[in-house]
Chains A and B, each alone.
Chain A
């Protein structure tokens, strides 16, 4: 009967955690009425444990043995969306060290420190694409040449195509940070005079 006791404990634990979150949430709301952003998921809904996430079967023993994301993320730097984890800072701060080789933990992937700036029309800030952060996760062959041809001027990229799941949208908006985080890519502001005359 051990697994059932464990399950009860897990359910009770989840309830207590939910309770604490609700209490903390309402306490915070009491202090700062402007803190709430209705477009953002409340903290209590984020990183739900498998048995409460709506896709795992809560009656399966396996489900209860899986690690809840909230537990895994507890010491990782936060972000505003996606997994609510700043994965790049987690690497930079050496809180995680994802392997580049299945078996060899000491193998280091080649990191390319090369920025590509793409100018865009209007007062929308230009896009900066940092190879560095990408090659901390990916190999050249993940993107070249299937998604991007490594040649200046060879790639037509638009937000429309990204939202359709092409180009950057192969990962961003699915697994990598969401496309609603506009300023993480559109990060290079334009000179002020152009800003004023721009549409």
Chain B
């Protein structure tokens, strides 16, 4: 522990520095504050009224109502730019912006709204399909309960209705049915799976599958060397310390690739495991512990 007077004197120095900093910053801030305080906002609104894609869209159209609204917005902007009280000018600018939006609404093609609605619909539909196939597997695994059978009938009905409405181009109504089918499926899956733990065991059908896993694991550790040791690798001594491990890891990996080319996946797996071990040693050698 430092003694109290020492702490106090350190505090005093810091306060003095703080005051100096504040003074300089205040001076700098006052310098930038000169000129029209609304200048930035005026410039932004000017951009929106004259240069934005919305402005160009209105200009390029022959919708008189939209062109008139933009002219009105421009004149509001000009009044605000000329002066007046801060509050009035802000309000005028807000109104000018709102008017330009109204104007662009008159000439817009719906801003691609239909396209987006269709894309959102398709995304939701593919999620419904994925959930339904999970639902089917659960029913197979657990046996069809009466509840699930009932729910499935409801889901199918809504889902078909959604398709039919979509075919007629009724996006909004179609989406309502699709969402209902989706929600019921979700609830049914939730009901069947709640509180469970499913385990994906580590087992491989063929040595080739295990080789692919090991290759991925080796890639992963190479990326971990880069990520975990990013700052440490700036030091030459750390680089020297891990260089041997990295070389060994590379040569084991080369061996593994050769074995795999020859179709000997068992040998290749062993070599990759040795390579990954060297990478773990490199990471640990640089002072970061990870399990092997």
Contacts and interface: CB of A to CB of B under 8 A. Distances in A.
Nearest to B186: A110
Contacts of A144: 127, 130-131, 134
Interface stretch (B18-26, B96-104, B238-246, B248-256): B18-26
Given A19-B14, A158-B217, A199-B277, A4 B223 contact: no
A7 B28 CA distance: 12
Given A153-B200, A180-B227, A123 B291 contact: yes
A140 interface: yes
Contact of A120 (B21, B33, B202, B280): B202
Contacts, number: 138
A5 to B, nearest CB: 9
A176 interface: no
Interface in B118-173: 123-124, 126-127, 129-131, 133-134, 137
A103 interface: no
A61 B198 CA distance: 53
A180 B231 CA distance: 14
A59 B32 contact: yes
A121 B202 CA distance: 7
Contacts of A149: 130
B291 A124 contact: yes
A198 B290 contact: no
Do most interface residues of chain B lie in helix, strand or loop, or is the interface mixed? helix
A163 B222 CA distance: 11
A174 interface: no
* Interface residue tally on A, bucketed by range: 35 or more
Contacts of A61: 40-41
A160 B216 contact: yes
A186 B292 CA distance: 13
Given A4-B33, A8-B29, A19 B217 contact: no
B29 A11 contact: yes
Contacts of A45: none
Nearest to A117: B199
B220 A112 contact: no
Nearest to B187: A110
A119 B201 contact: yes
B193 A114 contact: yes
A3 B36 CA distance: 12
A164 to B, nearest CB: 8
B133 to A, nearest CB: 7
B22 A12 contact: yes
Nearest to B21: A15
A121 B217 contact: yes
Given A1-B37, A150-B131, A117 B198 contact: yes
A39 B231 contact: yes
